[in-house]
Amino acid sequence: MTLSNDQRVALIQLLGARLSERQADRDHHAGTEAHHDPAPPDAVAWPETTEEVAAIMRVCNAHQIAVIPHGAGSSLEGNTSALRGGLCIDLSRMDRILDVRPDDLDCTVEAGVTREALNTHLRDTGLFFPIDPGANATLGGMAATRASGTNAVRYGTMRENVLNLTVVTPEGEIMRTARRARKSSAGYDLTHLFVGSEGTLGVITEVTLKLYGRPEAVRAAICTFPSPDAACQTAIAAIQVGLPLARVEYLDEGCIRAVNAFSHLNEVEADTLFIEFHGSEAGVKEQVDMFKDIAEMNGSANFRWAERAEERNSLWRARHSAYTATVNQRAGCRGWATDVCVPLSALPDCIDHAKGLLRDCPVPASIMGHVGDGNFHVVFSVDPAAKAELDIVAKINEAMVAKSLSCDGTCTGEHGVGTGKRKYMQDEHGPALTLMHRIKGALDPVGIMNPDKVLPPLKKAAA
């Protein structure tokens, strides 16, 4: 669809120059962050307050205009593509940190605040927000996609760290989903209904988050292993004996090779764990010694510990460059990133299965994972114009998801469903998918919120 004159006039009256139909602005919001085909909206709006978002939603609801909430645009499964055109609501100008409450260890921010901006603001308080998906995503977008990242093994995901939300409904009603209490038994858990909803139920405009004290001591390390199984078993054993790992990341040998080339490093090209511990000086030293013993029992070698902040940051820059490093192995190509998550005991077998699928893959590919919580990714460097290789990668993706579901895992641990993983929702959720459709229909009866995302059409029962 394209905007009619009446729709355009109504939106211009609200926003003036903060409504754009310029092709460049539309293309910038077309959901082209990965391999998915671009799907630009008909127009882009930049509201600056929750009340403006509510007014926009009332217009869109009355005119049945599709609405696509947008943060930093770093999602990977076509989550923000405008498949039916409509209006993209870019929340990046809603970037105020509204309140920081050190005594309560929480804060409230507008949806357009990025995680790096929040941690910069918190620097002098002794607090930090630990969820780190790699990209400098907006906190509203992170809540909408239920993001996690390298610190999730200790601090959890966005699901565990969002206390309440301010949400604008499709009809333009402003509501808070909860109070700031750390627990409540009062009513339905609306906060966690919207966390992970990917903009299909409403627009998140404010987020209240848990904060944490900065640890007294931090130590990071890198170590190699003779096989993926040895690396995974080390991480699992460390968790089982109660070591409070802050981060434990796995990169396969192909990923290390790509990172070496991209970042001009000289790491040993082998299955590798990146580890980090937080705590007191004495506690961290004890954890380090215990982890090293466990790792050596699994054949680990090439230990290198980093205590100074610059050394640690260098290690984690290598980890966070893994996606870009893999994609840049071929000029002019784009990334296809997929992720699954399984119970810890199934992780070694699932990574081994994925490595088997990659043996005959015609494009560069790397495996990396948050092995402390059973989540791992495969990143491919693909030529969007080469249908044959896209078909091969799609089949590998399907086989990975099938393996994960067979282990009682999920089709996505943190990327979200978007358009890319919709077709697996029936197999993963079964009859519960019908209930999800009922919730969607109740909260968005006109069907304007980020249409054609997350929920696939229900399969008709056989006659």
Common-topology check for domains 5-90 and 97-213 = no
Cα–Cα distance measured from residue 302 to residue 305, given in angstroms and rounded to the nearest whole number = 10
Domain made up of 217-318: CATH architecture: 2-Layer Sandwich (3.30)
pLDDT of res. 297: 95
Cα–Cα distance measured from residue 28 to residue 41, given in angstroms and rounded to the nearest whole number = 10
The residues spanned by each domain of the chain are 5-90, 97-213, 217-318, 324-406
- Taking only the tens place, the pLDDT of each residue in 348-369 is 999 999 999 999 999 999 999 8
Phi, psi (rounded to 5 degrees) for 116: -70, -40
Whole-number CA gyration radius for the chain: 22
Phi, psi (rounded to 5 degrees) for 89: -100, 105
SS3 category, 99? strand
pLDDT of res. 454: 97
Cβ count within 10 A of residue 265: 14
DSSP bridge pairs for 338: 378
- Taking only the tens place, the pLDDT of each residue in 53-72 is 999 999 999 999 999 999 99
Residue 247 and residue 313 in contact, taking contact as beta carbons nearer than 8 Å: no
Residues counted in the chain: 463
pTM above 0.75, yes or no: yes
DSSP state of 332: T
Give the burial class of 76: count Cβ atoms within 10 A of its Cβ; 0-12 exposed, 13-18 middle, 19 or more buried.
Answer: buried
Cα–Cα distance measured from residue 181 to residue 309, given in angstroms and rounded to the nearest whole number = 34
Domain 97-213 in CATH 3.40.50.1820: no
Name the token pair of 71: 């943060």
Cα–Cα distance measured from residue 262 to residue 321, given in angstroms and rounded to the nearest whole number = 8
Cα–Cα distance measured from residue 114 to residue 101, given in angstroms and rounded to the nearest whole number = 18
Fold adopted by 324-406: Alpha-Beta Plaits (3.30.70)
Domain 5-90 in CATH 3.30.710.10: no
- At 35, the pLDDT band (50, 70, 90 cuts) reads confident
